[in-house]
Amino acid sequence: MSTSKKIFAINGSHRSEKGFTQIVLNRFLKGAASAHAYCEVLYPSRKKIIACESCGKCLFEAPGVCKFNDDMGSIIEKIEEADMLVFASPVYFDSMPSNMKKMIDRLRVTLDAFFEFREGRTYHLKSIKKKQKVILIFTAGNPERESFVSISRVFNRILDNMGWELEGEFHFPASHLLVADPELLSTQLEAVTMSGQQLVAEGKINKNVIELANREYIDDPEMILRHMTQMILKMREDNK
């Protein structure tokens, strides 16, 4: 039997593997694979995931059972089997893409119906099998890091509710630079790869490496916006 760690990554981008988010995710998985992890990526936008209707079946009728028979059953199995999880997502209106949110809402079925009050907050009693470590990867079009405040808070609360443990979070603003000027971000991207390697090989990521991955690469947000305007105008011209 293989003893390699299983990493289950979920990329919420509606552009799936063609998007900017995948570029950062690939760097992380490259590092994890170099430490012999088995990595799998799921794109919620490619799966059949029906939105939770809050019908109450999993609460009041059949705990742990959802009335829908779609791809969520196998997704939950993969989440539960994994040793580590990665949630990679673009920022959409300061939040996550709708298919990612649909998937997360459906995780409600994995939680106990009953609650407890702990440190000023209400939590579902735990029913998730493992307390996996989680990596969060976010990309945003805007150049300022403020773009990540809202999505980061939401995901951190999701982790809290699910009983998962945050191991590292990576933010990549002005995401077009991942394609337009990868050299500018090379230190940050190498640190993301190193994080993947460290997490699998050592079970944790060095804080300095996380800091390096999140090191600022934009001196002048307004200049980036001017570049973005030029880019859009050129693309419109080319598409005429």
Ligand X SMILES: Cc1cc2nc3c(=O)[nH]c(=O)nc-3n(C[C@H](O)[C@H](O)[C@H](O)COP(=O)(O)O)c2cc1C
Residues that bind ligand X (CB under 6 A): 13, 15, 19-21, 90-94, 139-142, 147, 175
As measured in angstroms, the least distance from the Cβ of 202 to ligand X is 28
Smallest gap, in angstroms, from Cβ of residue 120 to ligand X?
30
Decide whether 110 or 139 has the Cβ nearer to ligand X. 139
Task: Give the residue with the Cβ less far from ligand X, 118 or 236.
Answer: 236
Helix/strand number for the chain, H first, E second: 8, 7
**Toward ligand X, which CB reaches closer, 110 or 214?**
214
What is the C-alpha R_g of the chain?
Answer: 19
Q: How far is the CB of 217 from ligand X (least distance, A)?
A: 14
Nearest CB to ligand X, comparing residues 92 and 123: 92
Which residue is it, tokens 């794109």? 43
In the complex, what is the shortest distance from the CB of residue 64 to ligand X, in angstroms, rounded to a whole number?
33
Both tokens of 162, joined, read: 């699910």
Whole-Å CA distances, 97 to 3, 21, 39, 140, 218:
34, 12, 22, 12, 25
Tokens encoding 114:
């009953």
Query: Residue 23 CB, nearest distance to ligand X (Å)?
Result: 8
Residue with nearest beta carbon to ligand X: 19
CA distance 196 to 6: 12
Q: Work out how close the CB of 172 gets to ligand X at its nearest, in angstroms, rounded to a whole number.
A: 7
Crossing angle for the helix pair 20-34 and 186-202, to the nearest 10 degrees = 40
In the beta sheet, which residues pair with residue 169? 136
Q: Which two tokens stand for residue 39?
A: 């990595």
Helices (H), 82-220: 98-105, 149-162, 177-180, 186-202, 207-213
Q: Nearer to ligand X by C-beta: 89 or 195?
A: 89
How far is the first Cα of the chain from the last one, in angstroms, to the nearest whole number? Answer: 57
What is the C-alpha to C-alpha distance for residues 7 and 40, in angstroms, rounded to an integer?
A: 6
90 vs 163 by CB, closer to ligand X: 90
CB of 212 or CB of 228, closer to ligand X: 228
Q: Give the nearest distance from C-beta 15 to ligand X in angstroms.
A: 4
